[in-house]
A and B are shown apart, each in its own frame.
Chain A
Amino acid sequence: MRGWKPAPHILLLLPAFVVLAAVVVVPLLLSLYSSFTPFRLTRPDSIYTFIGFRNYLRLFADQEFWVAFGRTVLLLTIALNLEMVLGLFLALLVEKATRGQRLLRTIMMFPMMFSPILVGFQFKFMFNDNIGLVNNALQSLGLTDRAIPWLIDSQLAFTSILIAEIWSSTSVFAIFILAGLMAMPKEPLEAAKVDGCTPLQSFRYVTWPFIMPFAYIAMTIRSLDIARAYDIVKIMTDGGPAKRTEILWTLISRTAYSDARMGLANAMAYVAIFLSILFTILFFRQLAKARQQIGAEW
């Protein structure tokens, strides 16, 4: 090492590089590499067998994977849209409140304060077909005399998960849109009133374009959230029964840990990440467009 004199700025940056390499770059490269091997946790030496794209080829032909993939996209699409609409209504209502707005905002954020695992348990209990609150309520009200198999029927279980997901995260949209509403200058709205707009037209032509960027930010964040959804589903149905509610990450974790096929699971994970990147690019494009439209200076 004699004679090797790194410039001070490189020397000072080195610790950061080392830490980043250790916790991000090396695991990333290792997992990428392992997706090209038949690596099984039970057979550590299998990591040295290079099999090229065989894991990926297998995935593309794997119907189970594509069903989970499709289900994740479906969950993402429905949840995002419903959360968007509900969050918008919530934000508009809270913004109208003249008193206690702070309190309302805080209450609105309560669902975000709970761990998704706990939300999962709560909804698992509520939707339980024997002792759950939902069936209890429906039966007490005389709407049905059957025990509805909320978490067992494929479509009902999907709906139940959707409800839990929406309950816990609608406030993300509400908060962002509310921020947009509060940052919005009031004069253009007054100008719209004078220009002859009904309240609905004011919303359509003035308010909505202004809060769109805020909605897109919320969408980006939430699309990443849902694309990696795991905890609520794991607790409520664990992808079952019989894989009726399997989504990407429950499938990946099962493949990696229960089946111990780490190589294949890593290949799946990379495809899943690709999905996330795709959505992020999509929403950021929209965001840039919307921002430019309102002439935002941020």
Chain B
Amino acid sequence: MATVSLKNLVKKYGHLEVVHAINLDVADREFVALVGPSGCGKSTTLRMIAGLEAISGGHIHIGDREVNNLPPRQRNISMVFQSYALYPHMTVAENMGFSLKIAGKSQDEIASAVADAAKTLGLEELLDRRPSQLSGGQRQRVAMGRAIVRHPDVFLFDEPLSNLDAKLRMQMRTEIKKLHAKVQSTVIYVTHDQVEAMTLADRIVIMRDGHIEQVGPPEEVFRRPATRFVAGFIGSPTMNLHNAVVSDGRLVFANGDTLPLPAQFKDRVSAGQKVIFGLRPDDLYPTGHGIHSGEAAEVHAVEVPVSLTEPLGNETLVFAEFAGQDWISRMLNPKPLRVGDRINLSFDLSQSHLFDAASEKSLRG
């Protein structure tokens, strides 16, 4: 068990800098997810922590040891790879016990450690099989077994579920969460899937182009995104984000349509300021079909035409046209709608977000 701390960590490939002096402190036993689109530097960061990539600047501490120049084997970490990276010529048991064998542990110790891990992961039946005889989910589980037998200081997961189909992914997600509750160790988990990050992590680190955009608990990055990028990245369906200009206490969109300026931002914007207005589909709903039972304090209703519907059973995503653009709204207790129908759309402005158009930073206090 250990803390992990990154200080001004830099990675360059030749002249190209891909990770720009990032800082992050991971507490002992914390589950931290690094999330971002591909190419944002999250995997590179993880690989630097693992020691598989040399660092170009800054410091990495695991516990109170600086590990900048230590090879992976001296960092006491274990890693689960996207492609599982099992040893194809070894059985499941040999795969899981390999690190202990290298560490010079006795046969008995290895056998009992492997048996423990196999029990935790439900792999007892498969110990004599080879990786080629296993399904994707089983291989993934073996990869995790290999990671836990060593009781490392830190677990590193590099997009461990990306190769699984949707159903299995959900199942394994639950298992990883249970596993973390059981083994109680520090985890750094890389994923491009924001749902995985939200459901698993104690804290989420959102990365973009080699920078950290925001760090915070799932609830916080969802409720209070610090930048436009985070607002658009976290949450499904994505937040409605549209450009507007502040004028006379209203938000004026490109085609001249307006919305009242949300009360909480009244003192934070100036007339003529270019902003980006954001509203989650949950806070935009056909009147009478919202999440909140009663009408919330600051609701503004507009009559708009429906441009598309996506029925999901218990709810329908309604795409409606307002201010010349499509807005996604979530309709609970759905009733049938047809394209072209005109509906009353409720904007819950108390839940809205406003970002400065130039800096893309949140204008919330």
Residues on A facing B (Cβ under 8 Å): 185, 187-188, 190-198, 201, 205-206, 209-210, 293-297
The segment from B71-79, B176-184, B232-240, B350-358 found at the interface with A is B71-79
* B83 on interface, CB distance cutoff 8 Å: yes
Interface pair B72/A194, CB less than 8 Å apart: yes
Q: Least Cβ distance of B214 to chain A in Å? A: 29
Given A190-B52, A193-B51, A194-B52: A294 and B88 interface contact (C-beta under 8 Å): yes
Q: How far is the CB of B285 from chain A (nearest CB, A)?
A: 46
Residues of A within 8 A of B87 (CB): 188, 191-192, 205-206, 209
Contact A209 B89 (CB under 8 A): yes
Asked whether any CB of chain A lies closer than 8 Å to the CB of B98, the reply is yes
User: Contacting A194 at CB < 8 Å: which of B77, B84, B88, B89?
Assistant: B77
Q: Majority SS of interface residues in chain A?
A: helix
Which of B98, B103, B131 interacts with A205 by CB under 8 Å?
B98
Using a CB–CB distance below 8 Å, which chain B residues touch chain A? 50-52, 71-73, 77-79, 81, 83-89, 98-99, 102-103, 130-133, 146, 150
A197 to B74, CA, bound (A): 10
A193 to B132, CA, bound (A): 22
A214 → chain B closest CB, angstroms? 14
Q: Report the minimal beta-carbon distance from B301 to chain A, rounded to whole angstroms.
A: 54
Residues of B within 8 A of A205 (CB): 87, 98, 102
Contact in complex: A185, B51 (CB < 8 Å): no
Known contacts A190-B52, A295-B130, A295-B132, A196 near B99 by CB under 8 Å: yes
Complex CA gap A205/B99 in Å reads 11
Q: Within the complex, what minimum Cβ distance (angstroms) separates B133 from chain A?
A: 8
**A298–chain B nearest beta-carbon distance, Å:** 12
Q: Are A191 and B85 in contact (CB under 8 A)?
A: yes
Residues of chain A contacted by B85 (CB below 8 angstroms):
185, 187-188, 190-191
Closest to A197 in B: B102
| CB–CB A188/B99 < 8 A | no
Using CB atoms, name the residue of chain B closest to A199.
B71
Chain A residues within 8 Å of B150, by CB = 195
A185 and B102 alpha carbons, distance in the complex (Å): 21
Alpha-carbon distance between A50 and B260 when the two chains are bound, in angstroms:
114
Whether A196 contacts B103 in the complex (CB less than 8 A), given A210-B88, A294-B88, A295-B132, comes out as yes
Smallest beta-carbon distance B115→chain A, Å: 19
Known contacts A191-B79, A195-B98: does B89 contact A295 (CB below 8 Å)?
Answer: yes
- CB-CB < 8 A to B89: which residues of A? 209-210, 293-295
Shortest distance between the CB of B261 and any CB in chain A (Å): 53
Min CB gap A191→B, angstroms: 4
Please name all residues of chain B whose beta carbon is closer than 8 Å to the beta carbon of A295 when the two chains form the complex.
88-89, 130-133
Closest 5 CB pairs of A and B: A295-B132, A187-B85, A195-B99, A191-B85, A196-B73
Are A193 and B88 in contact, CB atoms less than 8 angstroms apart? Answer: no
A-B contact pairs, 24 of them (CB 8 A): A185-B85, A188-B86, A188-B87, A190-B52, A191-B79, A193-B52, A193-B71, A193-B72, A193-B73, A194-B50, A194-B78, A195-B78, A195-B98, A195-B150, A196-B99, A197-B102, A205-B87, A209-B89, A210-B89, A293-B89, A294-B88, A295-B133, A296-B88, A297-B132
* Across-interface contacts of B86 in A (CB, < 8 A): 188, 191
Residues of A within 8 A of B83 (CB): 185, 187
State A190–B73 Cα separation when bound (angstroms): 10
In the complex, which residues of chain B have a beta carbon less than 8 angstroms from the beta carbon of A297?
132
Contact between chains at B102 and A195 (CB < 8 Å): yes
Q: Which residues of A contact B131 (CB under 8 A)?
A: 295
**C-alpha spacing A2/B113, complex, angstroms:** 81
| Besides the known contacts A190-B52, A196-B99, A295-B133, 9 further A-B residue pairs in the complex with CB atoms under 8 A apart | A187-B83, A188-B86, A188-B87, A191-B81, A193-B52, A194-B79, A197-B73, A295-B89, A296-B88
Residues from chain B with Cβ under 8 Å of A194 in the complex: 50-52, 72-73, 77-79
User: Given the complex, which residues of B lie within 8 Å of A296, measured CB to CB?
Assistant: 88
Q: Complex: how many Å from CA A204 to CA B50?
A: 22
A295 to chain B, nearest CB (A): 3
What's the nearest-Cβ distance from chain B to residue A47, in Å? 54
Q: Tell me the minimal C-beta distance from B185 to chain A in angstroms.
A: 15
Most chain B CB atoms below 10 A, which of A185, A196, A209: A196
A201 touches B102 (CB 8 A): yes
Chain B residues with CB under 8 Å of A193's CB are 51-52, 71-73
Residues of B within 8 A of A195 (CB): 73, 78, 98-99, 102, 146, 150
